Amino acid sequence: MARPAGRAAFILHGDGSERVVSFGELGALVDRFTAGLNALNLPLGARVMLLARPNPEIYALALAVLRAGH
């Protein structure tokens, strides 16, 4: 995600507005969520359930869960 950091990872449309999330922003979210997951000291391979409306933050959290080995 660092190489194309300025490129759009998501473009979200809704209510007449547009939100662009870059790969750099997505990578920063993944890093932040990974640090939080690691701070929980969950055992490797722990199951994690995500129940939320899909958005860039949930996508980043899913990537962080995979990165942390859960």
Measured CA to CA in angstroms, residue 17 lies from 8, 12, 13, 59, 61 at distances of: 16, 8, 6, 20, 24
Confidence of residue 12 (pLDDT cuts 50, 70, 90): confident
Say whether pLDDT at 69 is over 70.
yes
Q: What pLDDT does 48 receive?
A: 86
pLDDT in tens, 15-59: 889 989 999 999 999 999 999 999 999 998 898 888 888 888 999
pLDDT at 32: 95
Question: Is pLDDT above 90 for 14?
Answer: no
pLDDT at 2 over 80: no
